[in-house]
Amino acid sequence: MLDRVPRRAPVPVPVGDALGLVLGEDVVASEQVPPFANTAMDGFAVRAADTAGAPVELEILETIAAGHAPTAEVGPGQASRIFTGAPIPPGADAVVMVERTELVDEHHVRVEIEVPVGNHVRPAGDDLDVGAVVLSAGEVLSAAHLGVLCSLGVESVLAHPRLTVGVVSTGDELVEGAQPLAPGQIRDSNRRTLLALAAGAGCDVVDLGIAPDTEEAITAAIRRGVSTCDAVLTSGGVSMGDIDLVKVILDRIGDMRWMQIAIKPAKPFAFGLVDGVPVFGFPGNPVSSMVSFELLGRPALRHAMGHTELDRPVVRAVADDAFDRRPDGKTHFARVVARHGGDGRVHVTTAGGQGSHQLGAMAAANALAVLPDGDGVAMGGEVDTLLLGGVPSESGLPIDPA
């Protein structure tokens, strides 16, 4: 899949749209940050030598606020009142914080301490200097990275673009929204969860609606998806039944592979290209479609968006429940609640019913415990666990694995 879902080339992206994107170039500072020496404190800009033998009394020249240029050079015996972020005036080489001064009158201040040269002065370029590589290609742009770009006046960067991902649900039984249920009908939940998962993976998403189980409807929905999106996710219709049309249609209109994967949930899966656009055919059971997305969809979409860390973080956790299973040739992914224990380890307990239709347990889970083929994991044993989100600490505060 990773080979067949190519990495999209970087394009210019406004910094305001770049959060979470993968940077496609090195960014070199073309300016100094801060651009001028300025004060870290409210106080008085002085000549450090004048404070020798403090307390000393100095003449006040002017007041310099942030955003305003000094108008006077500080000479011997002189000082200028200055506020945080304001430029250090010529002649001054140190700042005395206001708390260590006392006004004598409107024009004179008493400095109570001796200060060294550079005291509370933030030199030009102290944060970022001209020519420094401040961000490297491949970095995932964070809030702080965007701040760095703004502080340098960079308005746009080369970044791997977001994918636009379309999501379609298939099934005659599916009903939209709150409409009344006729006998045999259920409500469509997969479309919303897959749209949300794709959005959470950093994609733009397009709702392609519900397609009933006819070749025409499913073909039309997939065709519409591949003509407007960079990838299409479908759910339902990929297992062994006669009316599992998605795999049949994809095979007919696309360069498609239908497969069965030795995992539980989410055994059936279809993947391939239709008109060059990757289509992921996930199974219909709600937990299966979500687990498929986590294991198969998300890594491929992230790859296409330039990420190199594709998978969720895995920790070796302590099983606080017994996770029983029987050998069946498959790896099982148990929906679990992961929590930091007081012992510095992550602990997992079952999130509830483990049926592939039991979305309630998936909703309660923040992790998947990986149970290799065999007899499961005894209580107190260790189990590799994929963290799907933040792990709450003992105190209940989440600690994000990313």
Which residues make up the interface to ligand AMP (CB under 6 A)? 169, 171, 173-174, 186, 188-191, 235-237, 239, 241, 244, 283-286
| Residue 283 touches Mg ion, criterion: CB under 5 A | no
- Quick one: tokens of 168? 């379609």
- Give the separation between CA 25 and CA 14, rounded to whole angstroms: 14
> Looking at beta carbons only, is 114 or 188 nearer to ligand AMP?
188
Neighbours of 183 (CB within 10 A): 4
> Looking at beta carbons only, is 87 or 286 nearer to ligand AMP?
286
Which stretch in 283-291, 296-304, 350-358, 391-399 sits in contact with Mg ion by CB under 5 A?
A: 283-291
Beta-sheet pairing, 164-170 with 204-211 = parallel
> Looking at beta carbons only, is 86 or 290 nearer to ligand AMP?
290
| Residue 171 touches Mg ion, criterion: CB under 5 A | yes
Q: In the complex, what is the shortest distance from the CB of residue 180 to ligand AMP, in angstroms, rounded to a whole number? A: 17
Exposure pattern of 62-73 as b/e (b: 16+ CB <10 Å)?
A: bebeeeeebeee
> Looking at beta carbons only, is 239 or 366 nearer to ligand AMP?
239
Q: In the complex, what is the shortest distance from the CB of residue 368 to ligand AMP, in angstroms, rounded to a whole number? A: 19
For residue 377, list its beta bridge partners.
Answer: 323
> Looking at beta carbons only, is 225 or 401 nearer to Mg ion?
225
- Quick one: tokens of 209? 């609606």
Q: Answer whether 324's CB lies under 8 Å from 375's CB.
A: yes
**Which residue, judged by CB position, is nearest to Mg ion in the bound state?**
236
Q: In the complex, what is the shortest distance from the CB of residue 350 to ligand AMP, in angstroms, rounded to a whole number? A: 22
Phi, psi of 180 (to 5 degrees): -60, 150
| Residue 236 touches Mg ion, criterion: CB under 5 A | yes
| Residue 281 touches Mg ion, criterion: CB under 5 A | no
> Looking at beta carbons only, is 95 or 250 nearer to Mg ion?
250
**Partner in contact with 186, chosen from ligand AMP, Mg ion, none, beta carbon below 5 to 8 Å by kind:** ligand AMP
Beta-sheet pairing, 398-399 with 391-392 = antiparallel
Q: Residue 279 is which amino acid?
A: V
**SS3 category, 363:** helix
Q: In the complex, what is the shortest distance from the CB of residue 361 to ligand AMP, in angstroms, rounded to a whole number? A: 15
- Give the separation between CA 196 and CA 198, rounded to whole angstroms: 5
Query: What is the binding site for Mg ion (CB under 5 A)?
Result: 171, 236-237, 284
